[in-house]
Amino acid sequence: MIERELTCQEFVELVTDYLEGVMPEPERARFEAHLNECVSCASYLDQFRSTIRLTGRLTESSISPDVRDELLSRFRDWTKT
């Protein structure tokens, strides 16, 4: 059975699984095949990695309560927009 190519939308939805190393091998192969062909998704993955690296330096005490509340609100509402 030939697997169909991954779409960009599917790629975005699977980035976390890929970076956490929990993606099953067949899906990982499809993910990496798409990554090798799609400049936009490669850029997205690089941006995602940069965000993780930079936010990993943040501590809860380094963020003001107002900013924390705003971030939580935006994440909560993210799928609604």
What b/e readout covers 2-26, taking b as 16+ CB neighbours within 10 angstroms? Answer: eeeebeeeebeebbeebeeeebeee
Instruction: Indicate the pTM of the whole model.
Output: 0.66
> For the chain, what's the residue count?
81
Instruction: Dump pLDDT digits (tens) for 56-81.
Output: 777 778 888 898 888 888 888 766 54
Domains of the chain (ranges plus CATH)? 8-80 (1.10.10)
Residue range 1-24, pLDDT digits in tens: 446 788 999 999 999 999 999 999
